[in-house]
Amino acid sequence: MKLRPVLLALLLCLLVAAPASASQTVHLPLVIGAPPADLPKPPVLLSPAQLAWLDTISPEFIISNWRLLQAAWAQLELFAAQPYAHLAQADPVAEFTWHPFYGLSTAVLLYNLEPDTTYYWHVRASYDGIAWGPWSSLAVFTTEGEGTLPATPALILPADGATGVSRRPPLSWSEVQGVTRYAVLLGPTGALQGFLADEPPFVPFEDLQAGTGYEWLVYARNGYGWGPYSETWTFQTE
């Protein structure tokens, strides 16, 4: 089964099965009022830092837009290593758009980059999601060259092919040693969405559609990167 790479933003704990103290996003009080007429300055790139040599092949991208003094959209582009002169014509290997936030926010890759490879990334901001300010300067980082990925989780429940499943079913799988988090891909056939969980089970945040067929799978992450996908199982909601 071929899946598209996913880049996921963490907004407080709404998309993460973790306590509030583990939240990856800090939101500051919003300034109420009309947005400035000028285009926003780019967010500050915090991590990966400029010229960082990482110990992972699946970094998290942390940015801050505190200097805008209000909520704003943000957009990220990630490029494989190329000479600066050619980046304007390069196709990004990953793109992501944050919905409006204020403060710090983290985007999590749900797949691995190439090992021992240099990447460039930059971001820009928008007050309305239409008119965008300038791109930030490019930050450069290099991924780890060697490491061991985690083992594959084994799915447990709901059983493959189950019917009459509740609309908020606990999805459970076998735990993998040395794992820092899991990714759960869940959705109607052909429309999977990515979620993060610290441990099984994972319970959907909202009711699933009634009388609908769903697919799901799980894979694990350690300090080095994401391991292989589990089997893909299906179930039908009540």
Domain final residue, candidates 112, 142, 172: 142
* Claim to verify: residue 98 and residue 205 sit in the same structural domain: no
* Claim to verify: residue 93 and residue 210 sit in the same structural domain: no
- Say what the pLDDT of residue 13 is: 28
How many residues would you count in the chain?
A: 238
Grouped pLDDT means (10 residues each) for the chain, 238 residues: 46 30 37 60 96 96 95 95 62 92 94 95 95 94 96 98 97 96 94 95 96 97 97 97
- Say what the pLDDT of residue 9 is: 44
Alpha carbon of 215 to those of 14, 99, 151, 159, 193: distances in Å?
21, 27, 21, 11, 10
Domain final residue, candidates 119, 142, 165: 142
Domain final residue, candidates 142, 167, 199: 142
* Claim to verify: residue 129 and residue 162 sit in the same structural domain: no
From the list 132, 93, 137, 88, the residue with the least C-alpha distance to 4 is 93
d(CA 104, CA 24): 8
104 is in which domain, residue-wise? 7-28+41-142
* Claim to verify: residue 124 and residue 188 sit in the same structural domain: no
CA quadruple 113, 116, 120, 122: dihedral, nearest 10? 50
* Claim to verify: residue 137 and residue 210 sit in the same structural domain: no
Give the chain's domain count: 2
**Predicted structure pTM score:** 0.80
Contact call for residues 74 and 124 (beta carbons, < 8 A):
yes
Residue at 177 is within a domain: yes
Residue at 48 is within a domain: yes
CATH number of the domain where residue 230 is located: 2.60.40.10
- Say what the pLDDT of residue 25 is: 42
Structure tokens at 142: 């290099």
- Say what the pLDDT of residue 91 is: 84
